Chain A
Amino acid sequence: MKKLTFTKILLILPLVFGLIGCKKDKPRDPLDRPEPFTIKRELTGRERYEVINKTLENRTRVTSIEAYASIRQVDHASKDEFTISGTSTSKFYLNYGVKNELKFEINEKSGNGIEYPTQEIALNGTQAWKDGLL
């Protein structure tokens, strides 16, 4: 009987570990501070020069920029709160083409606890070049 139970446990274990492995990670807030890293050393002047040069060369290969921002202000005396948060996406294409999408919202709450209506603002832009006209 004991042997049977042990065998059952052995059979179930891979399934349990498999499920743990498949467990979805909580999506990371893009505004969370990046994971800590360990500095190995500071670059020499010559190495810096090489890194900067090669990095600047890569400007022409940027295909997209996703940006996230959030600002929260609290008045020290009145406790009025003001929050602005949003995201922007820029996608870059050949011939100076770009599609920009910016979305942000503004929230205000007074020190008395009054929450003012949220303002949602979206700005989209497309710029494309064709046959001499931009």
Chain B
Amino acid sequence: MTQMMKFEKENYDYEIMVLDEEEIPDHRPEIDNYYDLDILLNNPIFLDTEGNYHIIEEEFDYVVGSTGSQYTHQMIEMFSDLLINKKFEIERQYLEQKTMIGTFDDSNTRDEKDLNLVTLQKEATSIKHGTLKEMPKLDEFVVGFPKVYVRNDVSVYRVCSPASYDPNHHLVVDNNTTLWTDTLFASSSKTKSAGVMGEFLVTDFTLNKYEGVAFNLKYTTSKFKYDGLLQHAFHTDSVDLEPGIPKSLKDILKVVRQGDMIYLVYVPLELDAPNTIDLSVAFDFTISCNLTDIGDQIGISTFTNIEVLERIF
């Protein structure tokens, strides 16, 4: 027996549109799926003995095709019933569609029981009518609606610069020189509080001797404006990988903080040490956002489960 695995992942989306009262349509588009004018107009309507109305669709197909000496039999059955009650309300819709297949040595029509079921589709809908009411807790919903949110476009921008020891034996990174840059995707989902949470993993990361690489989380926050439009703000937070460096690598992997940037630098101790080190880097992140008193957007990133491991394959 297979044990059920459970992964919980939530994703929330927020959107605001401008719509004046007089522009509000009189019914929701979801309702039109059942009040489909094509179905209503293009089918006969039957009155039953209870005084209700039915729109019935039935289809039956039996097809035989041959491949060499074998015959494939396919039977398709469809039944649907749309029930309109005496008060002219669509009360329910039912749809059943079945496809059966069988392979035989001849083309003689077979009974359903001799064929194998390949598709069974069933749909049932129950519709209730009445007087529309105000949405419960609408004011609470409006007040609780976020004013600013983090967009789901998080990436990690890596910048590599040369590193060396200064005359005071401090390890410094020459951030005026850029050796390479790249941008990697970070998987994320939106949280209920209009933030974002996700994870980042890179397994093919090679760091050269006396080079520093900064892992910068890049993300965007958006503020709803009174006119429904959005005002974006772009953020970059450098990730401090130091908590994730294992003891075995602490002597040769150093973290250098310069301004807003945090670099990971490979500084081997022995002269004959390899010129490069292959690493994998992983961390989880959460990003929340807020507005300052003057309405500026701020993003707050938190990093957990940081791991920097030497890649041995």
Residues of chain A touching chain B, judged by Cβ–Cβ distance below 8 Å, are 30-31, 33-34, 37-43, 47-48, 51-52, 54-76, 90, 92-100, 114-118, 126, 128-130, 132-134
Contacts and interface: CB of A to CB of B under 8 A. Distances in A.
B46 A71 contact: no
Contact of A76 (B16, B45, B116, B121): B116
B104 interface: no
Contact of A54 (B19, B79, B88, B117): B88
A129 B228 CA distance: 12
A93 B18 contact: no
B96 A33 contact: yes
Contacts of A56: 35, 37, 40
Given A100-B30, A115-B2, A55 B35 contact: yes
Contact of B31 (A48, A65, A129, A134): A65
Interface of B: 1-5, 16-21, 24-28, 30-32, 34-35, 37, 40-41, 44-50, 52-54, 79, 81, 83-84, 87-90, 92, 94, 96, 101, 103, 116-135, 138, 141-142, 228
A37 B49 contact: yes
Given A58-B129, A65-B34, A129 B24 contact: yes
A70 B134 CA distance: 33
Given A42-B46, A59-B27, A67-B124, A129 B19 contact: yes
A43 B41 CA distance: 13
A71 B47 contact: no
B118 A48 contact: no
A60 B19 CA distance: 19
A66 B89 contact: no
A30 B126 CA distance: 9
B228 A62 contact: no
A37 B132 contact: no
19 contacts: A43-B47, A58-B129, A61-B89, A61-B132, A62-B129, A63-B131, A63-B133, A65-B31, A65-B126, A69-B124, A70-B120, A76-B116, A90-B28, A92-B28, A93-B132, A98-B30, A117-B3, A117-B4, A132-B20
Contact of A74 (B2, B4, B18, B116): B116
Contacts of B41: 52
Contacts of A52: 40-41, 45
A92 to B, nearest CB: 6
Given A52-B41, A63-B129, A97-B138, A41 B47 contact: yes
B27 A39 contact: no
Contacts of A95: 21, 24, 134-135
B30 A134 contact: no
B89 A58 contact: yes
Contacts of A97: 134-135, 138
Nearest to A47: B45
B135 A128 contact: yes
Given A71-B120, A133-B17, A64 B128 contact: yes
